[in-house]
Amino acid sequence: MAKEMGQLNEEKVFKDPVHRYIHVRDELIWRLIGTREFQRLRRIRQLGTTYLTFHGAEHSRFSHSLGVYEITRRIVEIFQNRPHWNEDERMLVLCAALLHDIGHGPFSHSFEKVFGVDHEDYTRDILLGDTEVNEVLRLQGEEFPRKVAEVIEKTYHDKLVVSLISSQIDADRMDYLLRDAYFTGVSYGNFDLERILRVMRPMEDGAVIKASGMHAVEDYIMSRYQMYWQVYFHPVTRSAEVILSKILHRAKDLYQGGYQFKQDLTHFRSLFEGEITLEDYIKLDEGVMQYYFQVWMDEEDRILRDLCRRFLDRKLFKYSEMVSVSEVLRLSGYFEEAGIDPKYYLVIDSSSDLPYDFYRPGEKEERLPINLLKANGEIRELSRESDVVEAISGKRRTDHKLYYPADLIEKIDDNKLKQKIKHILKKD
């Protein structure tokens, strides 16, 4: 049986702009941070293409993962010696917090859509496969990596442990809202983390919030709502994401059509062939991907060359509010007539968010509600007590935009055709 790891001789600290300090006292956590797979997260931005809209958004999944660990560490400290909290789960929940994003790829959102992969599968593979992370986790016991995977996958038997990493008010969301607000320079994402942590209490089915802290939770819910629409779904960021997706689609289509690239596709070959290995996946990061974009600017293929230039030089697509399906089809025909390939240059992009929802058993994605603990010991679901939360509870907001290259439309020689396109786009 593996010998469980103990405490470091001396506490290690990371200076952090959001939490001031991140404290590491456990040797296991320290060793996990030093693994190859965890260090790779330094080379993957937390917010993908958002840096092209908010220039400060250069922070990495590495710093977010440390932040989630730190919030979880503080919650566990508050829960110590309270009913329903099992101190034996401490190391498990800290490791799950630290490693919850370990499987993310470069520009995760676009990357997963184009190649049909899921970062959650790679998280599991990294935790259970032939990796440095797995080697370190097994120092805590042979079954320990599997338990960490179960917590992250929300299948672990202790619901309280799962809720700290994955619920409607968890360490993951609390860190990314504060961190993303800080690095984008916006004020919407700020809420009183200290207050929320002070009023959190462990219960059998998950953490609850003392009713006296309800206003701090309302702030948190509204922060999340604002951040999604002002930052995460910003139309300019989505334009960059659209172009990024189209670059990957174009390169994949060319490869599968037998096109000869000038530069060997070492890092992309197994991806384009649909049989990416864990080792290939771990080698891919945003630096590698942007190197290829730089190289592809010199390719013979005009579309790939142009899309890479747009992404790297920030010559993004413009957008308009969504037009009817029949108008999109007409536009598509006009684009073809003008020699602009609509498959790559006319894109509908949709964003949708549900800021908070009460419990709906049996739904595909069951969302555990935020519960309040009243002074008399009664548990009440948040939206039944808060008018603010009730107003947005269960209401999904969706936004559709149409993206196109305004500069190419301006270059169309046929003035009549140009005006037809502009008329549909309402750009007369």
pLDDT one-digit tens code per residue, 281-322? 999 999 999 999 999 999 999 999 999 999 999 999 999 988
Region 406-427 average pLDDT = 93
Please list, in sequence order, all residues whose beta carbon lies within 8 angstroms of the beta carbon of residue 308, skipping any fewer than 6 positions away.
247, 293, 294, 296, 297
pLDDT category at 99 given cuts 50, 70, 90 is very high
Q: What pLDDT was estimated at residue 358?
A: 58
* pLDDT interval class at 42 (50, 70, 90): very high
The shares of helix, strand and coil residues in the chain, as percent rounded to the nearest 5, are 55, 15, 30
Q: Phi, psi (5° rounding) for residue 60? A: -105, 165
pLDDT value of residue 285? 96
The Cα 117–Cα 192 span in angstroms is 36
Nearest to 60 by CA among 282, 280, 245, 285: 285
Task: Give the Å distances, CA to CA, from 9 to 6, 25, 26, 27, 149.
Answer: 9, 8, 9, 9, 29
Name the least confident of 134-143, 172-181, 356-365: 356-365
Distances (CA, A) of 51 to 197, 285, 415: 30, 16, 36
Which pLDDT score is estimated for 362? 44
- The whole-angstrom separation of Cα 188 and Cα 177 is 9
pLDDT in tens, 3-24: 567 999 999 999 999 999 999 9
Count of other CB atoms within 10 angstroms of residue 423:
11
Can you state the angle between helices 235-256 and 286-296, rounded to 10 degrees?
70
pLDDT at residue 54, rounded to an integer: 98
* Residue 296 main-chain phi, psi, to 5 deg: -70, -15
Residues 183-212: tens digit of each pLDDT: 999 998 899 999 999 999 999 999 999 999
What is the arithmetic mean of pLDDT over 258-269? 94
Helix (H, G, I), strand (E, B) or coil at 190: coil
pLDDT digits (tens, 9 = 90+) for 45-85: 999 999 999 999 999 999 999 999 999 999 999 999 999 99
β-sheet bridge partners, residue 400: 350
Give the pLDDT mean for 400-410. Answer: 96
Q: Are 383 and 300 in contact (CB under 8 A)?
A: no
Instruction: Answer yes or no: is pLDDT of 169 > 50.
Output: yes
Residue 51 CA to residue 47 CA, distance in Å, equals 7
What's the whole-number average pLDDT of the chain? 93
- pLDDT exceeds 80 at position 272: yes
43 burial (CB, 10 Å; 0-12 / 13-18 / 19+) is: middle
pLDDT of residue 355: 79
CA 190/CA 325 separation, integer angstroms: 39
Q: Which of 266, 229, 269 is nearest to 252 (CA)?
A: 269
Question: 344-388, pLDDT tens digit by residue?
Answer: 999 999 988 787 865 444 444 556 789 999 999 999 999 999 999
Residues 117-128: b if buried by 16+ CB within 10 A, e if exposed:
bebeebbbbbbe
Measure the CA–CA gap between 248 and 237, rounded to whole angstroms. 17
